[in-house]
Amino acid sequence: MWLRSAGPLRRKRCTSRRGAEARDPFRSLRAATPSRRAARLRGDGRPVVHARERIRSLTRSARTHPPRPRGTVLAVATAVVLVASRAARRKQPAQYTRRTPEVTPLYAAVRDELETYLARAHDRERIVPRFVERELRAYLQCGLLRHGFVRARCADCGLDRLVAFSCKGRGFCPACVGRRMADTAAHLVDRVLPQAPVRQWVLSLPHSLRYRLAFDAELCSAALDVFIRSVFISLRRRARARFGVQARIARCGAVTFVQRFGDALNLNVHFHSLVLDGVYLREADGSAQFRTLAPPTDAEVERVAASIALRLIRLLELRGLLAGNPDETDPLARDGSTLGELYAASIRHRTATGPRAGRRVARVGDRIAADDLEPPRSKRCAMVNGVSLHANVAVPARDRKRLERLCRYVARPPVSTARLAAQPDGRLRYQLKRRWRDGTTHVVFEPGELLERLVALIPPPRAHQVRYHGVLAPAAAGRAGICCDRRLAEHSKTDSSRGQLAPGNDRAGNPIDTTSRSSARPSSRSGNSSHACGDRDSNGFVSAPNPRVPAPPRARRLSWSALMQRVFVRDVLECPSCRGRMRVIAAIEQPEIAAAILGSLGLASRAPPAVPARQAELLCDPDLELAGPADDFTEPPSD
C-alpha cells in the first residue's frame, strides 16, 4: 500500500482485487486473454487480435461514459420497478355509463311536488305560465329510455347502446344546460373569440332591479347595453391615453352571459361579460391589429361602476319605473301570475307558498353576527349605490384551455346534483360552493320550496342568454377578419371544385360516422387551425388572420359523442367489448316500440309514476306582501 497526493488531501490507494476492478473493469478480460506470444506459439493468432480490438473499443467506451456508482444504479432500478408496479395497479379509465336522473333527489322533488304546485296555483286563481309547466314536465321525461332513445350498435360484436332523449331545457336541467355549456364554450373558443387576452367583468345589480329584470326582457337588454357601453368607454379612454388615437377609431368586443341564479339557488339576475382586454385599430393597409391594454386599476373599476349606476338611474327614470306605485308598473301583479311572488320570495331568500310561506329558508353553519363581519375586500372590485363590479379575472392570449374553462364557468348549470342530498326527515340539503361570510355552508329546502326556486330560474321564452357585442356581434363590420369564424361556404366550394366528397357521406352517398373525427381538433400550429386566430408581430400586436384560409368544416352544434370526447376525453362510440366502432342505427320515438325493445333487452320499460296533488292544510296568505323585494333586505354576504 502506498500514498498518492491528490491536492491538499491524501488518500490511500487500494491495491485489492475489487479496487483494481473498479479502476479498470477490463482487467479480468485482459487476464483471461492470452498474450500475443503465447497465441503465436499455439499457432492461433486470429482470436487474439479480435479480443485485443474488443478490449480497446470497450476501454474507449468506458472512458467516454464512465460507469455510474452502484448506489445510483440501484436507486434508478428501484424507481423503475416502483413506477411499473404502480402502472400495473392503476385502474383502467371508466367506461361510459348511462345517466339515471330518476334516482336523484332533484328528480324526486320535481316529481313529487309538481302536481301539488299546479293545484295550489289553480285553487288560489294564480296563473302558471305555459313555458314553466312545459319545462317542468319535459324534465320528468329527460334521460328516461321509456320516452324515446337513440340506438347504437357495434358492427363487429353486435353490442347495443341506448342513449335517451333529452328535454332541451334552458332553466335548471343539469344535463341539458350542461350540454349547452360545453357546446357554447367550444363554439366561442373555436370560432368566435380571437387569440387575444380576455378579461371577465361581472356586474351585480340592486335587489329591486333584479326583480324587474327577471321577467322584463327588454329592460334586461337595456341594462346590459348600459353595462357594455360603460366598459367600452373605459377601454377607449385608456387606449387614447396610451396609444394617442381617437376614441371613435378604437373598436372593442365582448360576449355576455345572462345568469339568473345565485349560489343558494336564489334568483339573482347578473351579467358575466368576457371582454377583449384591448382594442382593435385599423392600420394604413386596412388590416386590423389588436393592441393589448394594461389591466384596469381599482380607481378605474370604481369609475366604471359609478358610470353604470348613474346610467341605470337615468334609464329607470326614462321608463317611469322610479315614480308612482310599484304595483301599477308590475305586469306580473296585474296579470295574477304566480311568477311575481316566486321571484320576490327567491330574491329575498324566503318561501312563497305552502305552510312556511313568508319565512326564511333554513341555513346550516356557524352563524356570525352581522356586526362582527368586515366588508369584503378584493382587487379590482367596486360597489356604488348597490351596483357591484368585479374585473379581476383575466386569461392570457394563447391560453385557450383556460379560456374554455372560463367559458364553461360562466355558462354552467344553476343546479349541481353532486351538492344536493336528501336528509332522513325528507328535506333537501344543498351545499354552497363557498362558505358565506356569516358562516353559512348549506341551505335546507322542503321539496316544495326547492320546486319554487327552480321555477324562478326558468328564463322567459325568446330571451337570449348569450349576447355578442362590438366586433364580435353577428352584423359587425369586419367580423370575418377578426373572429375565428370561417364560413363553410368557401370551404365547400373549394372541396367541390377539387372533386372531394361531401363531409359525412361515402362514395356511394351513404352517411358515415364522422363523430370520431369531429372531436379531433387541428393543431394550433397549423394555418387552418381554428385556434390560430392571428399572428403576433415584433411589437406584440395581434393581426387579423387571413380570411382566405378555410377552417375544417364543423357544424355549429357539436354532436353528443364529440362533446363527450372533448370534455371527458372519452370515446363513447368505442365498443367496450371488442373495441370496435358503434354506429347509430335508429331513433326510437314511439313509446310502444321503445317499450318492446327495452323488454327484449331486459331493461325497465316503465317510467316512474307521477305523484298526484296533495291537499295542503295551509295555503299562502293572499294578503302576504311578496310582490316586490324589501328595500332593507341585505343578501347573505359571500366570499
The three-state secondary structure class of 220 is helix
Which grid coordinates are listed for 339? 311568477
**In a shared domain, residues 178 and 324:** yes
**In a shared domain, residues 48 and 192:** no
**In a shared domain, residues 35 and 171:** no
Domain contains 504: no
pLDDT in tens, 213-245: 999 999 999 999 999 999 999 999 999 988 887
**In a shared domain, residues 192 and 108:** yes
User: d(Cα 464, Cα 460) in Å, to the nearest integer?
Assistant: 9
**In a shared domain, residues 151 and 294:** yes
Which grid coordinates are listed for 364? 346550516
**In a shared domain, residues 37 and 109:** no
Domain housing 565: 102-329+389-412+460-487+519-608
* H/E segment holding residue 9: strand 9-12
Domain contains 632: no
pLDDT in tens, 163-203: 999 999 999 999 999 999 999 999 999 989 999 999 999 99
Query: DSSP per residue over 344-402, as a string?
Result: HHHHTTB--SSTTTTPBPEEEE----GGGPPPP--TTEEEETTEEEEEEEEE-TT-HHH
Which grid coordinates are listed for 131? 313555458
**In a shared domain, residues 600 and 526:** yes
- What percentage of residues in the chain have a pLDDT greater than 70? 68
Domain contains 80: no
Neighbours of 239 (CB within 10 A): 23
User: d(Cα 353, Cα 343) in Å, to the nearest integer?
Assistant: 12
Domain contains 405: yes
**In a shared domain, residues 153 and 240:** yes
* Torsion angle in degrees (nearest 10) through CA of 121, 125, 129, 133: 30
Instruction: Give yes or no for a contact between 186 and 563, defined as CB atoms under 8 angstroms apart.
Output: yes
Confidence of residue 63 (pLDDT cuts 50, 70, 90): low
How many alpha carbons fall within 13 Å on the CB side of residue 405?
Answer: 9
Domain contains 597: yes
Domain contains 478: yes
**In a shared domain, residues 125 and 31:** no
Domain contains 348: no
In this prediction, residue 17 carries a pLDDT of 52
- What percentage of residues in the chain have a pLDDT greater than 90? 40
**In a shared domain, residues 469 and 582:** yes
Domain contains 201: yes
pTM of the model: 0.72
DSSP state of 422: E
Measured in Å, how far apart are the chain's first and last C-alpha atoms?
75
Main-chain phi, psi angles of 312, to 5 degrees = -65, -40
pLDDT score of 638 more than 60: no
Q: What average pLDDT does range 21-34 have in this prediction?
A: 52
In this prediction, residue 28 carries a pLDDT of 52
**In a shared domain, residues 277 and 140:** yes
Number of domains in the chain: 2
Could you tell me the sign of the dihedral formed by the alpha carbons of 487, 489, 495, 501, in that order? Answer: positive
**In a shared domain, residues 31 and 122:** no
